Amino acid sequence: MKHITIILYGKVQSVSFRAATKAIANQLSITGLIKNEKDGTVYIEAEGDKFSLDFLVDWCKTGPDRAIVEKVEVTEGELKNYLNFEVVKKHSI
């Protein structure tokens, strides 16, 4: 198990990115969260095995049909032991 943080730049809000990512994460047994940020980025924390996380990162490079992903930043972090993958509805403060 490992933990990664992904930040997505481009046209990544209002294109069903969060819902589509949750569906992919659930299929891959990835836990964590996804949320829109006020600066227009999408923020993801994901935990799972290396293969599943690599697949998620590759998928994020294109995302759902209406998304235009310009940049993907990935950093590793400490496990937080999420129980599921959650879509956070409100912007971060």
Q: How far is CA 29 from CA 41, 61, 73, 79, 84, in A?
A: 24, 19, 22, 15, 8
Q: Are 63 and 17 in contact (CB under 8 A)?
A: yes
Out of 36, 66, 81, 84, the active site residue is 36
* Helix, strand and coil in the chain, % to nearest 5: 25, 40, 35
Collapse the DSSP code of 39 into the 3-class scheme (helix H, G, I; strand E, B; otherwise coil) and give the result.
Answer: coil
The yes-or-no answer on residue 18 being catalytic is yes
The yes-or-no answer on residue 66 being catalytic is no
Write out the catalytic residue numbers: 18, 36
